[in-house]
Amino acid sequence: MQLQRLIFILLFLTTFCFTNCRSKTESLPWNREKIIEVFTEVQLIEAKLETISNIQERDSLAHVYYQSLWNEHQTNQQEFDQVFEYYAQRPEKMEELYAEIITRLTLMQSQQQE
């Protein structure tokens, strides 16, 4: 009897975890293309900010750059954090995402050099 109870509890927990993980996947606020676009632009912003040694100036420009990014893509920091957290919890998916971002950045760089 206890074995049946244990099996029932394990099945319930497995089903709950599966359902919970699935709902997180479905609740992402952006589609994959928007994720790649925004994350690519974040990399460009961070690269620009790395060249500024004055901390106050860097912080001020970071605010301006990110606000412009959020406005351009009709989003906000909270949605970005939600998407980032989703991928941070899934390293394999994050790696796939960044492979596409690196490809896009490389293409942008080669177009600038032409």
In order of 79, 89, 100, the CA distances from 27 in angstroms are: 11, 15, 22
In a domain, 63, yes or no: yes
- Domain coverage including residue 99: 30-113
Number of separate domains in the chain: 1
Cα distance between residue 88 and residue 98, in whole Å? 12
pLDDT of residue 4: 52
Check whether 6 has a pLDDT greater than 60: no
What pLDDT is attached to residue 23? 45
Is residue 74, in this structure, part of any structural domain at all?
yes
> Is residue 54 in a domain?
yes
The verdict on residue 107 lying in a domain is yes
> Per-residue pLDDT tens for 44-85?
999 999 999 999 999 999 999 999 999 999 999 999 999 999
The pLDDT of residue 24 is 46
* Residue 13: inside a domain: no
Considering the domain boundaries, does residue 85 fall inside one? yes
In this structure, what DSSP letter does residue 1 have? -
Among 8-17, 22-31, 70-79, 97-106, whose mean pLDDT is lowest?
8-17
pLDDT for residue 26? 56
19 domain-assigned: no
| Residue 3 belongs to some domain of the structure | no
CB-CB neighbours of 45 under 10 Å: 17
The helix/strand/coil state of 113 is helix
pLDDT at 25 > cutoff 50: no
